[in-house]
């Protein structure tokens, strides 16, 4: 009894290791995998793992039965598949055949038997490198003992030729699969490749999370990528080092390395019409989303964060504000520099770049400042037109631009962006004190990386109302930041 219990335990471990191995594919770049289900309730005997793969407009289901054998040295033959074990209702072949019938023919299906037993010589010669049966076996053009074996299988299933042919076409025999130790080593390599911790304890954690899914409700056994990320976050499996934030606003775009955090706001933006969320939506949803993201990174000690995504300047600003310099966050962003992609980092030593300032006095009774920062282009004409249209009463307008002049070449490096962001903060803080300003209305014409680094610097500046460029050479209200 003890040996039997140990064998069952090892069999479960082997199955859930394979489940974790398949689930990790959800984190790979450009993966065709859309979901992985553990202990599916609609796949018959091939229910241990169900992998859904996107094939153009179709979704293929790979339904996998995993079998573990303590002594993997023995080989399986044709008779192995038709043997009905004591207490069993069906042979392995019968169970797989019934599973195929259960799944129907509405979408592509593969029925997979994965076992650490290898095939004997006769069976092995009928299986191609992709685990499919050779065309001659599937079509029944074999002869001799192999024909006898094929006929025995068909008779055992009481199947007609068309359904037997369809079954053989869908059947995959992954024989001589990795041993437990080999599988654990391969999982560790895969975990490392997708940015996870990969020691033995972490491999075990992944296996245990899959076992937990199998014990849970049916609805929770199907994992898509966000569900897997939640498991990884909960188990603290992300490798130390840089975290990655994917924030999709103008459009959804996948990047080379998988995200530690991901926010998809594409439904709230319209790139063609240059529409961005209004301040009320920022307050009720988007800022809380950013705060929760920043809190999770902080709790995990993830202070170096690569920010990826196509987003409005005011969104970059808000991200930087929620991941502030004073909080110990160091941010990275890929930015086109002199026509080539370059990685800007907020902890770069600042260059000697600086801003020049022009001040235009306004209403002496107002406590509002208008600040326009022109880096890659001249924001002034459009900001002046917008202020005239909106009739915003303000104490003064500050026109800021690089001393070297605005334009596409205004920033030659991330170090320039760091320097200008720090100088902008000093100018804003001095201006707020000089005029006792209650709020600042901020207009930007700059690279996203500069906006990100500037956001990190925005503290003790009161309320900052930001504006995003809109169609028609004008601006629209965006996020409102309370900086203290």
Q: How far is CA 191 from CA 23, 178, 197, 214, in A?
A: 11, 17, 7, 21
φ/ψ of residue 408, rounded to 5: -60, -25
Closest C-alpha to 324, from 452, 186, 448: 452
Buried b (16+ CB within 10 A) or exposed e, 17-38: bbbbbbbbbbbeeebebebbbb
pLDDT in tens, 137-152: 999 999 999 999 999 9
What is the predicted pLDDT for the residue at 4?
A: 62
Q: How far is CA 460 from CA 378, 457, 465, 482, 484, in A?
A: 27, 9, 14, 9, 5
DSSP alpha helices (H): ranges in 333-447? 380-390, 414-435
Closest C-alpha to 323, from 421, 459, 414: 459
What is the predicted pLDDT for the residue at 290?
A: 96
How many angstroms separate the CA atoms of 349 and 354, rounded? 14
How many angstroms separate the CA atoms of 18 and 24, rounded? 10
More confident residue, 233 or 83: 83
Dihedral sign of CA atoms 126, 132, 136, 139 in order: positive
**DSSP state at residue 310:** B
Contact between residue 335 and residue 363 where contact means Cβ atoms under 8 Å apart: no
pLDDT > 90 in the chain, percent: 75
Using DSSP, state whether 401 is helix, strand or coil. Answer: strand
- Cβ neighbours of residue 82 under 8 Å, at least 6 residues apart? 91, 93, 94, 152, 153, 156
φ/ψ of residue 43, rounded to 5: -120, 15
Pick the CATH number of 2-230 from 2.60.40, 1.10.3470, 3.30.360, 3.40.1350: 3.40.1350
pLDDT at 208 over 60: yes
Taking the whole predicted model, whether its pTM rises above 0.85 is answered as: no
pLDDT band at 1 (very low <50, low <70, confident <90, very high): very low
Task: Count other Cβ atoms within 10 Å, centred on residue 333.
Answer: 27
Residue 269 burial by CB count (10 A; 0-12/13-18/19+): exposed, middle or buried?
Answer: buried
Q: Where are the domains of the chain?
A: 2-230, 243-345, 355-482
How many angstroms separate the CA atoms of 309 and 385, rounded? 30
How many angstroms separate the CA atoms of 306 and 326, rounded? 17
| Domain 355-482 fold | Rossmann fold (3.40.50)
pLDDT in tens, 16-53: 999 999 999 998 877 899 999 999 988 788 889 999 99
How many angstroms separate the CA atoms of 66 and 15, rounded? 6
What is the predicted pLDDT for the residue at 403?
A: 95
User: Strand 304-308 to strand 330-337: parallel, antiparallel, or no bridges (unpaired)?
Assistant: parallel
pLDDT band at 256 (very low <50, low <70, confident <90, very high): confident
Contact between residue 146 and residue 126 where contact means Cβ atoms under 8 Å apart: yes
Contact between residue 478 and residue 454 where contact means Cβ atoms under 8 Å apart: no
Mean pLDDT value across residues 407-423: 93
Mean pLDDT value across residues 442-466: 96
Mean pLDDT value across residues 396-401: 96
Mean pLDDT value across residues 367-380: 95
């Amino acid at each position: 009894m003890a040996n039997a219990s140990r064998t069952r335990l090892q069999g479960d471990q082997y199955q859930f290791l394979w489940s974790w191995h398949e689930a990790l594919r959800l984190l790979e770049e450009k993966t065709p995998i859309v979901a992985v289900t553990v202990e599916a309730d609609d796949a018959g005997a091939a229910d241990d793992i169900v992998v859904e793969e996107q094939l153009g407009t179709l979704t293929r289901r790979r339904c996998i039965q995993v079998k573990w054998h303590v002594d993997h040295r023995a080989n399986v033959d044709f008779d192995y598949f038709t043997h009905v074990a004591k207490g069993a209702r069906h042979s392995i072949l019968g169970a797989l055949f019934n599973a195929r019938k259960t799944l129907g023919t509405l979408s592509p299906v593969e029925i997979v038997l994965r076992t650490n037993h290898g095939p004997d010589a006769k069976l092995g010669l009928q299986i191609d490198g992709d685990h499919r049966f050779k065309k001659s076996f599937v079509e029944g053009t074999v002869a001799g003992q192999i024909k006898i074996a094929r006929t025995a299988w068909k008779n055992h299933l009481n199947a007609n030729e068309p359904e037997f042919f369809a079954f053989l076409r869908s059947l995959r025999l992954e024989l001589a699969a990795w041993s437990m130790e080999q599988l654990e080593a391969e999982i560790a390599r895969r975990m490392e490749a997708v940015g996870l911790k990969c020691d033995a304890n972490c491999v075990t954690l992944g296996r245990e999370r899959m076992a937990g899914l199998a014990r849970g409700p049916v609805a929770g056994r199907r994992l898509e990528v966000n569900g897997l990320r939640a498991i990884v976050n909960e188990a603290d499996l992300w490798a130390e080092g840089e975290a990655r934030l994917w924030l999709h606003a103008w459009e959804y775009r996948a990047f080379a390395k998988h995200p530690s955090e991901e926010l998809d706001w594409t439904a709230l933006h319209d790139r063609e019409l240059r529409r961005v969320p209004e301040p009320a939506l920022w307050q009720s949803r988007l800022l809380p989303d950013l705060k929760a993201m920043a809190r999770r990174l902080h709790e995990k000690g993830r202070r170096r964060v690569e920010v990826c995504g196509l987003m409005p300047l005011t969104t970059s600003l808000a991200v930087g504000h929620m991941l502030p310099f004073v909080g110990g966050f160091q941010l990275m962003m890929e930015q086109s520099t002199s026509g080539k992609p370059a990685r800007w980092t907020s902890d770069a030593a600042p260059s000697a770049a600086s801003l020049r300032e022009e001040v235009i006095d306004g209403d002496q009774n107002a406590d509002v400042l208008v600040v326009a920062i022109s880096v890659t282009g001249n924001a002034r004409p459009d900001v002046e037109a917008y202020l005239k249209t909106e009739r915003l009463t303000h104490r003064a307008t500050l026109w800021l631009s690089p001393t070297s002049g605005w334009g596409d070449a205004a920033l030659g490096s991330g170090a320039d962006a760091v320097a200008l962001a720090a100088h902008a903060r000093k100018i804003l803080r001095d201006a707020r004190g000089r005029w006792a300003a209650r709020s600042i209305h901020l207009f930007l014409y700059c690279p996203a990386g500069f906006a990100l680094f500037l956001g990190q610097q925005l503290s003790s500046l009161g309320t900052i109302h930001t504006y995003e460029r809109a169609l028609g050479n004008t601006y629209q209200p965006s996020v409102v930041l309370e900086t203290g």
